[in-house]
């Protein structure tokens, strides 16, 4: 059992609450408490973006309202997650100290406005943030109602100001030590781009240097370093003043601006904000669900298997998808319980009450402008709150995944930066999702982890398109296989080292040729409408996009290309390596091919599968004594799984004592 909040008996159900927008309407605030209790809400996230109310003028503080709210909530059985308010800054701060504003990649400083718009290296921003954070921590840090710190909000963005550029140079110097080394790793003799001094290094400005792949990648790594450095500044203050209060920050879905594996090193628990487009017009409901299962699995990966938090979700519609559809009947319950089934110990919303104006006035909330407790949405939320109470024994249980998909942010950056092959989307994320979906369909739980994760507990690891091998990664994959693991890699594996220099002598590099018993000679790229096929066991499976021509050494072919000049050469192969097996998939399969290959991989790794009707997901949470099997029906038809009958859109949770 790994309960996130031992003091709370059951799941957290609640969400972002912005009473500061309603301070002049006390009747609304009183109603909020009443309605929260009706909706079985036991936690509110306060303080996100409250800086201008907490410190209306520099050095003038107004914290009474927050104290009243926290006390009032607590007296009514509602806990507080308290945010540092630094996700957006007050106007006085930006106008008096313009250095706190970011400089964009065109080298122009932003104006005051929106949010997430501060320079991470500005000493003034850090100083002013520290003052307000200390005030909050000193006043509320030991309040029994405050259970968690929420740092800022959804960190994102980059800053190209002089201070950041100077830090970037320092970071580069620290990494490469000598100019000679830097010039070699960046391959700068190409186009005469050699640096004569570290002071000449600039970030990839829009009108500057963006043709050095290693530099582009380092800028992204630096941005993560800089953001984490800023986040750690906030965290250190809180660790000093309230060492016993845990800390999180809210992540976004598959956000590619930061390496969350790095950020997670500073956090006590992982939380994320999920806003899928349920019932969209481009995929089935269960395909949307399968992708969300991937997102949840990624959060488990960041948290090293511990339960995570669904910090934000919407009970109705958002305001920022191109088309903002209402959640259809049943979907709220299904989506919330899917989060729980996949390892979340919280169901939280953005937001409790819909604001009257500004950017998010049409963003869904538990309580909308009607202010009533008998709306469809309110009742949906109430229902979920009641179900979570019934399921409270599940809280703290974990998911024991036997499989893992490696989906690594830095590798994704390296792939996005590739100049060649398929220029406008190599499809890395989609590919990882597709492999995960194939496992989900078979009732096989797979964590989604970065390339530095500990793989020792898994029987099967699928590492799609692991183009860049960070230090130690090849060695880890090798040991995993040698010790009996089943490893599967695909086309586009092991082309470059951590600084994007190609391996010489054949891909996959860094010793992986021996693990897979083959090398890749060429990589063909197909036009969107073109197809080849994998011929395996007399069946054919369509192939698209990328077709590597591979040469086997010790590996055995399990299936060959059907056509083109590389017809009859291998697509799918296996190599016995140590006590394990290493499979290689040289081309991108359509779902039938992915399914057929997945069956081979699962058989080889001895992982049990479950016959599930199309559109039904199964997840198991395990608390040591019992297993809770969740069946979720993402179809509009009745479905049967073993002895369980699922009504359309139904969820059933079945307990098995061990
Ligand atoms: C999140 C953000 C919230 C709110 C929400 C709207 O990304 O953290 O503050 O803006 O989106 O969907």
The string of pLDDT tens digits covering residues 423-446 is 888 999 999 999 999 999 999 999
The predicted model gives 447-452 an average pLDDT of 97
Kindly give the distance from the C-alpha atom of residue 438 to the centroid of ligand 1, in angstroms, as a whole number.
31
* CA-319 nearest atom, ligand 1: 12
Which one of the listed residues 154, 209, 429, 445 is annotated catalytic? 154
CA distances from 243 to 142, 237, 239, 240, 380 (A): 10, 9, 4, 6, 37
Which one of the listed residues 20, 185, 234, 312 is annotated catalytic? 312
**Pairing assessment for the beta strands 570-577 and 556-561 based on DSSP bridges:** antiparallel
What pLDDT score was predicted for residue 117?
A: 85
The predicted model gives 42-47 an average pLDDT of 98
Q: Hey, which of 87, 312, 314, 319 would you mutate to test ligand 1's pocket, going by the most ligand atoms within 8 Å of its Cβ?
A: 312
Q: Hey, which of 360, 361, 364, 365 would you mutate to test ligand 1's pocket, going by the most ligand atoms within 8 Å of its Cβ?
A: 360
Residue with the two structure tokens 């059951």: 10
**Pairing assessment for the beta strands 79-83 and 146-150 based on DSSP bridges:** parallel
Kindly give the distance from the C-alpha atom of residue 114 to the centroid of ligand 1, in angstroms, as a whole number.
12
Residue 64 a catalytic site member: no
Each residue's pLDDT tens digit, 298-343: 999 999 999 999 999 999 999 999 999 999 999 999 999 999 999 9
Kindly give the distance from the C-alpha atom of residue 304 to the centroid of ligand 1, in angstroms, as a whole number.
25
Secondary structure element (H or E) that encloses residue 516, with its range: helix 512-516
What pLDDT score was predicted for residue 649?
A: 98
The predicted model gives 260-280 an average pLDDT of 98
What pLDDT score was predicted for residue 1?
A: 67
The predicted model gives 578-593 an average pLDDT of 98
Secondary structure element (H or E) that encloses residue 590, with its range: none
Give residues (CB < 6 A) around ligand 1.
Answer: 153-154, 273, 275, 312, 318, 350, 360, 363
What pLDDT score was predicted for residue 423?
A: 85
Kindly give the distance from the C-alpha atom of residue 570 to the centroid of ligand 1, in angstroms, as a whole number.
47
Nearest one of 298, 278, 348 to 78, comparing CA atoms:
348
**Pairing assessment for the beta strands 43-46 and 12-16 based on DSSP bridges:** parallel
Residue with the two structure tokens 């009183």: 30
For residue 149, the SS3 value is strand
Kindly give the distance from the C-alpha atom of residue 358 to the centroid of ligand 1, in angstroms, as a whole number.
13
| Per-chain mean pLDDT for the chain | 97
Binned at pLDDT 50, 70 and 90, residue 162 comes out as very high
Alpha helices, DSSP H, located in 162-284:
162-176, 179-186, 213-241, 260-263
Indicate whether 403 pLDDT > 80.
yes
Binned at pLDDT 50, 70 and 90, residue 116 comes out as confident
DSSP string, 352-416: SB--SSSTTTTS--SB-TT--SSSHHHHHHHHHHHHHHHTGGGTT-B---SEEEE--HHHHHHHH
The predicted model gives 152-163 an average pLDDT of 98
CA distance 438 to 431: 11
CB 469 within 8 Å of CB 410: no
Residue 521 a catalytic site member: no
Q: Hey, which of 48, 154, 319 would you mutate to test ligand 1's pocket, going by the most ligand atoms within 8 Å of its Cβ?
A: 154
What pLDDT score was predicted for residue 424?
A: 84
CA distance 338 to 495: 37
Binned at pLDDT 50, 70 and 90, residue 513 comes out as very high
For residue 496, the SS3 value is strand
The predicted model gives 512-539 an average pLDDT of 97
Binned at pLDDT 50, 70 and 90, residue 642 comes out as confident
Q: Hey, which of 350, 352, 360 would you mutate to test ligand 1's pocket, going by the most ligand atoms within 8 Å of its Cβ?
A: 350
Kindly give the distance from the C-alpha atom of residue 639 to the centroid of ligand 1, in angstroms, as a whole number.
35
Kindly give the distance from the C-alpha atom of residue 339 to the centroid of ligand 1, in angstroms, as a whole number.
18
* CA-154 nearest atom, ligand 1: 8
Q: What percent of the chain has pLDDT over 90?
A: 98
Kindly give the distance from the C-alpha atom of residue 84 to the centroid of ligand 1, in angstroms, as a whole number.
15
CB 193 within 8 Å of CB 393: no
As a 3-state breakdown, the chain gives helix, strand, coil percent values, each rounded to 5, of: 35, 20, 45
> By alpha-carbon position, which residue is closest to atom 12 of ligand 1?
318
> By alpha-carbon position, which residue is closest to atom 4 of ligand 1?
350
* CA-318 nearest atom, ligand 1: 12
Indicate whether 2 pLDDT > 90.
no
For residue 222, the SS3 value is helix
CB 398 within 8 Å of CB 343: yes
Kindly give the distance from the C-alpha atom of residue 620 to the centroid of ligand 1, in angstroms, as a whole number.
30
- In the chain, the N- to C-terminal Cα span, in Å, equals 15
Each residue's pLDDT tens digit, 364-381: 999 999 999 999 999 999
What pLDDT score was predicted for residue 591?
A: 96
Backbone phi and psi for residue 80, each to the nearest 5 degrees, phi listed first: -120, 135
Binned at pLDDT 50, 70 and 90, residue 395 comes out as very high
Give the tokens for residue 386. Answer: 């009641």
What pLDDT score was predicted for residue 394?
A: 97
The predicted model gives 407-436 an average pLDDT of 96
Q: What percent of the chain has pLDDT over 70?
A: 100
């Amino acid at each position: 059992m790994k309960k996130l909040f031992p003091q709370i008996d059951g799941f957290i159900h609640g969400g972002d609450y912005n009473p500061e927008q309603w301070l002049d309407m006390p009747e609304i605030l009183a109603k909020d408490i009443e309605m929260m209790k009706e909706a079985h809400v036991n936690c509110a996230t306060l303080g996100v973006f409250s800086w201008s109310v907490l410190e209306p003028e520099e050095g003038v503080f107004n914290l009474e309202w927050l104290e009243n709210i926290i006390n009032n909530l607590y007296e009514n059985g509602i806990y507080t997650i308290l945010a540092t308010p630094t996700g957006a800054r007050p106007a006085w701060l930006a106008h008096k100290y313009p250095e706190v504003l970011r400089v964009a990649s065109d080298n122009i400083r932003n104006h005051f406005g929106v949010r997430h718009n501060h320079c991470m290296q500005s000493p003034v921003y850090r100083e002013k943030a520290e003052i307000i954070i200390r005030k909050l921590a000193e006043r509320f840090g030991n309040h029994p109602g405050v259970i968690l710190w929420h740092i800022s909000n959804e960190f994102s963005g980059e800053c190209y100001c002089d201070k950041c550029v100077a830090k970037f140079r320092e970071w580069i110097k620290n990494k490469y030590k000598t100019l000679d080394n830097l010039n070699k790793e960046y391959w700068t003799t190409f186009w005469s781009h050699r640096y004569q001094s570290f002071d000449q290094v600039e970030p990839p400005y829009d009108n500057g240097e963006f043709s050095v792949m290693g530099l582009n990648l380092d800028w992204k790594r630096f941005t993560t370093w800089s953001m984490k450095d800023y986040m750690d500044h906030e965290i250190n203050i809180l660790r000093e003043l309230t060492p016993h209060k845990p800390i999180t920050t809210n992540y976004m879905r598959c956000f590619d601006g930061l390496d969350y594996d790095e950020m997670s090193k500073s956090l006590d628990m992982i939380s994320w904000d999920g806003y899928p487009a349920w019932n969209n017009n481009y995929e089935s409901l269960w395909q949307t669900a399968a992708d969300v299962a991937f997102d949840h699995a990624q959060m488990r990966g960041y948290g090293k298997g511990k339960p995570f938090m669904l910090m934000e979700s919407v009970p109705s519609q958002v305001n920022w998808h191109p088309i903002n559809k209402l959640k259809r009947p049943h979907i709220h319950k299904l989506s919330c319980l899917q989060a729980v089934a996949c390892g979340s110990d919280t169901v939280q919303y953005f937001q409790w009450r819909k604001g009257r104006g500004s950017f998010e006035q049409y963003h869904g909330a538990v309580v909308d402008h009607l202010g009533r407790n008998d709306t469809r949405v309110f009742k949906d939320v109430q229902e979920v709150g009641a179900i979570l109470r019934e399921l409270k024994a599940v809280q703290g249980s974990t998911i024991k995944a036997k499989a893992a998909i490696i989906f690594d942010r830095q590798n994704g950056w390296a792939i996005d930066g590739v100049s060649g092959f398929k220029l406008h989307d190599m499809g890395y994320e989609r590919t990882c999702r597709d492999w995960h979906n194939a496992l989900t369909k078979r009732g096989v739980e797979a964590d989604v982890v970065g390339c530095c994760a500990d793989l020792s507990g898994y029987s099967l690891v699928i590492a799609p398109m692991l183009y860049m091998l960070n230090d130690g990664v090849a060695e880890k994959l090798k040991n995993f296989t040698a010790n009996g693991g089943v490893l599967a890699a695909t086309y586009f594996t092991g082309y470059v080292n951590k600084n994007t220099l190609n391996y010489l002598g054949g891909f996959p590099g860094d010793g992986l040729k021996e693990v897979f018993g083959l090398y890749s000679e060429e990589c063909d790229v197909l036009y969107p409408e073109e197809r080849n096929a994998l011929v395996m066991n007399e069946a054919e499976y369509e192939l698209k996009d990328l077709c590597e021509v591979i040469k086997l050494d010790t590996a055995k072919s399990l299936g060959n290309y059907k056509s083109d000049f590389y017809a009859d050469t291998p697509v799918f192969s296996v190599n016995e390596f140590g006590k394990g097996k290493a499979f290689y998939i040289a081309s991108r399969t359509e779902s039938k091919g992915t399914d057929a290959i997945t069956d081979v991989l699962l058989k080889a790794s001895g992982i049990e599968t479950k016959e599930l009707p199309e559109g039904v997901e199964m997840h198991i949470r395990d608390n040591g004594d019992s297993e809770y099997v969740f069946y979720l029906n993402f179809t509009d038809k009745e479905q049967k799984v073993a002895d369980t009958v699922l009504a359309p859109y139904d969820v059933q949770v079945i307990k098995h004592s061990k």
